[in-house]
Amino acid sequence: MEPMRMRATLQGDVADIKLLINHPEETGLRKDPKTGQIVPAHFITNITATVNGKKVLSAQWGVGISKNPFMGFKVKGAKAGDKVVVTWVDNKGETQTGETTIGS
């Protein structure tokens, strides 16, 4: 599995956090053009983010998230050096965690 790509920058006391996940995000509606068979659903269902261990974001995602998902969010009261940890799990039980440090 390719690592999650993350970037966290600071504007004043607001951290701007962006991340990219490598994931097929299959809806379960798409047919494989070669075989004509339905490609089974495979999508992220839950994603959470913490800053220095405190939960800042907890999301449920459905099949409407684009392939290789991008997410951005902002956290007030952050400072340079704070650790951001993001974890997702998908409908097959696969999971991945990424972390980065808030830059100045």
Partner 1 sequence: MDALRRNILKNAGGVGMIGLAIGAGLLKPTLALADWNKAAFDAKTVPEAVKALGAVNAAESKEIIIKAPDIAENGVVVPVEITSNIPGTEYIMILAENNPTPLIADFDLTNGAMGYVAIRIKMGKTGPVRAVVKANGKLYTAAKEVKVTIGGCGG
Interface residues with partner 1 (CB under 8 A) are 1, 3-7, 14, 18-20, 27, 29-31, 45-48, 51, 54-67, 69-78, 85, 87-89, 91, 93, 95-101, 103
CA separation for the pair 37, 6 (Å, rounded): 35
Nearer to partner 1, 40 or 99 (CB): 99
CA separation for the pair 52, 85 (Å, rounded): 8
Supply the minimum distance, in Å, between the C-beta of residue 86 and partner 1.
10
Nearer to partner 1, 36 or 93 (CB): 93
CA separation for the pair 38, 31 (Å, rounded): 4
Supply the minimum distance, in Å, between the C-beta of residue 41 and partner 1.
11
CA separation for the pair 22, 53 (Å, rounded): 24
